[in-house]
Amino acid sequence: MPDSIVGVDFDYTYNGILSKDVLFKPTVSTPAIGDLMTIRQFARCKEQLPLLTPLMKQVKAYSDCGRSFTDGVDITNTTLELTPLELNMEWCKDDFEQTLLVGNNLAEEMLKDGIEEFNPSGTQIQSIIDELINDVMKRDTFRIFSFGDTADANADYNQLDGMWTQLIANSGESDSYCVRKSSSLGTGALSGGAALTALKAAYENSAIILKQIPNNQKYFAVTGSVYENLLSSYEANVDGTERQFLNLVQGQGDQGTALLYRGITVQPIYAWDESLADTDNPLNGTVEHLILYTTRENHVAGFKRQSDADTISGWYERKDRKYYVEGFYRMGYTYIHCDLQTIAF
């Protein structure tokens, strides 16, 4: 062995190519709010939505020239109240190197040099921050719309009264309640066939006005737990037939993309399952499975401007050596008519 390499240690481990790509962990997706609700914009604090009750039994038999007149219908209203919401976050260079990107190797590639090293503006770091915040704003907005409860003490849920807070508070299994509750689903794993039974009850116990609306204008929105239980029932039915095999390999509807019950779309919302499992959720421990049978037009999501809920602003503050991000928007929720939804929980 030549003297020039005597004592050289060849025991070296190759660490592989260092990729500049950052792999984001997938998050639980949320449906577009406009798919479940009608979106109204441009009110800053409140909007009064006029409600008209249909006329009934006005036509009578002719008697003589003397006539009697009945009173016209009253115009009532429901209030859509908007709540201001904000997001405020900050990062310094140490966060980029130690938290957002574990280890300094990636930070070496993504940060600027010298005095600008603390400023992520225009770098891949800023793109990462924007993607993280846009994702959490979308999921937080849907979570608050679904489960917000102003009576709760937790700051992650007490921004406004959301859909399920309002529906459950005004529901019951008799006609004296505004919102019809067709059955109770309890907590814990659903028994076999429970979802199919609950959907049947929601369908049959709904108001006539909801029943007669065309199927393509209605939907069942359910937790993933209900959806999967229903799938199992569909797979178990028509036992031993070709249809059962197709149920197993294709699911329901067009190549398994849509699950229907009596011609009405059943939409799984796994974000509801995730939020109900959160111990901070006001419904945690008491509600685990949800069914909503309704129309999109009967639910209103209000925004000052919907685009504000997707807009963030970031800036670098040199004196603090920090990068700040803020978001601000106004939103609210209400349903319109009592008898255009049936729920189970």
Give the pLDDT means over successive 10-residue stretches in the chain (345 positions): 54 59 84 95 92 86 87 86 96 70 58 85 89 95 98 97 98 93 97 97 97 97 96 80 68 64 95 98 98 97 95 94 96 96 98
The pLDDT value recorded for residue 175 is: 86
Task: Say how many CA atoms lie within 13 Å of 41 toward its Cβ.
Answer: 7
CB 8 within 8 A of CB 45: no
Q: Using an 8 Å Cβ cutoff, are 267 and 31 in contact?
A: yes
Q: Which amino acid is at 185?
A: L
- Give strand pairing partners of 314: 325
Q: Kindly report the pTM of this predicted structure.
A: 0.87
Query: Which pLDDT does position 100 carry in this prediction?
Result: 46
> What angle separates helix 224-236 from helix 194-204, to the nearest 10 degrees?
100
Q: What is the pLDDT of residue 101?
A: 47
Closest CA to 217 of 299, 107, 281, 119: 299
Cβ(42)–Cβ(305) below 8 Å: yes
One-character DSSP codes across 286-305: T----EEEEEGGGEEEEES-
Report which of 103, 101, 102 is spatially closest to residue 127, judged by C-alpha positions: 101
- The predicted pLDDT at position 70 comes to 86
Domain boundaries, the chain: 33-50+77-344
CB 324 within 8 A of CB 56: no
